[in-house]
Structure 1
């Protein structure tokens, strides 16, 4: 890990009254798109954000934006498919900050859109590793810290496709359904604790993944990641009471 830890007060020594001041947040897939936008929004609200992704250059761009807005971040380049790195993530955060208050699991893989019989083993392994296995490892690694927090919040970026199986989307849909079931099971297990666990359906958003799935779509008509980031950040606040829900955050009507 690199860069500065969270600070107790903004410049000038005045108490930091931002709603997430003093809290530590971890955001995966934060080099671009929804992950970057959420990390920037959490930092704007006062959280110190640990941002992870494979692309260090993208993380640096996110960090530049966070710093320009008066926030702070720690950059942690890693491959979400690297099990040993994910297993060490929670302990590493604890060693550095002694706490973790917020987890936003955003990293995902679309894979190849193809008929189910044509899914290649390497493509199947990739989407399983990113969408399903990484979710389990994040819960296993970071769950104890989140449960120990006074208002732990975990948010997992999902998709409405888990409720509406669609032709050619079998690999993505199956692994997102696995994520969905695992997260909601964890939510049931923690229902009597202070932890709040939810999934979000961002709906159609102008991201690189969306362009890959719908190359002919006019992205200018879609919400930008920054448009939905505040709605996801709202789920990370101490006052959030929803638990075990799938919440649509897109401003576009269903």
Structure 2
């Protein structure tokens, strides 16, 4: 593992940084997932857009096309109901259609709102663990063999401040994000035997996103930075500038 790395202050990815790379982004239809997909395409990556709502994915696809980026791909999938076999099929589809995968960013998240753990609805608890932890783990595991064939591959789990400093009322969402941090620490050590493959977590900070709006009043959310401000940090983690950074809990500066 690297020693105390940090995302360079004010980092802006150079043009063509991700040219020739294929990047899978979950939760790509809105919020940070959308911002990350657009930023990756702008840097030359072929982006695979995975999300629940086809209409939203199509809108991002059109934005990428209008911006002159490489043609993206759409993979509609509801991670709440996705099975082990469904996620395995995603990896198979990527291998069949693209032959390689250089980056995987887990932006998809499920947060029903603030609630005490003892009062959280059973379905919200199960859905939260499924989307925020289990599906992210399974998709990564299925994509690993493909990523291990590339000389430089990066896996990023988008996390939250409550994962590093747990707080009350975050329910299953907080538990899952806390578990993700442990997963990254353990799994990155195990994967360190694969040269060029790295795994990190990234806290983008409070952003103006639909997810944030579920827990806070809209007036407060509108005062926050737009999701695009956090995308450069993710592009840094996906690109060659972060080579050697592994097993780290990074945050937007």
- The answer to whether TM tops 0.5 is yes
Separation of aligned partners in 1, 2:218 and 2:24: 34
Match of 2:21 among 17, 20, 23: 23
Write out the 4+ residue segments of structure 1 that deviate beyond 6 Å after TM superposition. none
Separation of aligned partners in 2, 1:29 and 1:224: 16
Q: Is the deviation greater in 200-209 or in 135-144?
A: 135-144
Match of 1:68 among 54, 66, 87: 66
CA contact (8 A) 2:133 2:176 kept: yes
The alignment's C-alpha RMSD in Å is 1.4
The 5 A counterparts of 1:36-47 are 36-47=34-45
CA contact (8 A) 1:201 1:248 kept: yes
1:213 match: secondary structure: coil
2:131 match: secondary structure: helix
Question: What's the CA shift for 1:216?
Answer: 5.2
Q: Which residue of 2 aligns with 1:141?
A: 142
The 5 A counterparts of 1:1-254 are 18-71=16-69, 72-81=71-80, 82-83=82-83, 84-193=85-194, 194-215=196-217, 217-240=219-242, 241-249=244-252, 251=253
- Counting matched residue pairs gives 234
Question: What's the CA shift for 1:47?
Answer: 0.6
Separation of aligned partners in 1, 2:211 and 2:46: 27
Q: What do the CA deviations read for 1:81-113 (whole angstroms, capped 9, x no partner)?
A: 302221211111001111101101110111342
Give the alignment's TM-score, normalised by structure 2: 0.88
CA contact (8 A) 2:112 2:214 kept: no
Question: What's the CA shift for 1:223?
Answer: 1.1
- Unmatched tracts of structure 1, length 5 or more: 1-16
Q: Which residue of 2 aligns with 1:3?
A: none
Separation of aligned partners in 2, 1:91 and 1:182: 24
Question: What's the CA shift for 1:215?
Answer: 1.3
Separation of aligned partners in 2, 1:79 and 1:183: 24
Q: In structure 2, do the counterparts of structure 1 residues 216 and 56 end up closer, same or farther at CA, with 3 Å as the change threshold?
A: closer
Separation of aligned partners in 2, 1:220 and 1:143: 38
Question: What's the CA shift for 1:217?
Answer: 4.5
Separation of aligned partners in 2, 1:135 and 1:24: 18
1:174 match: secondary structure: helix
1:185 match: secondary structure: helix
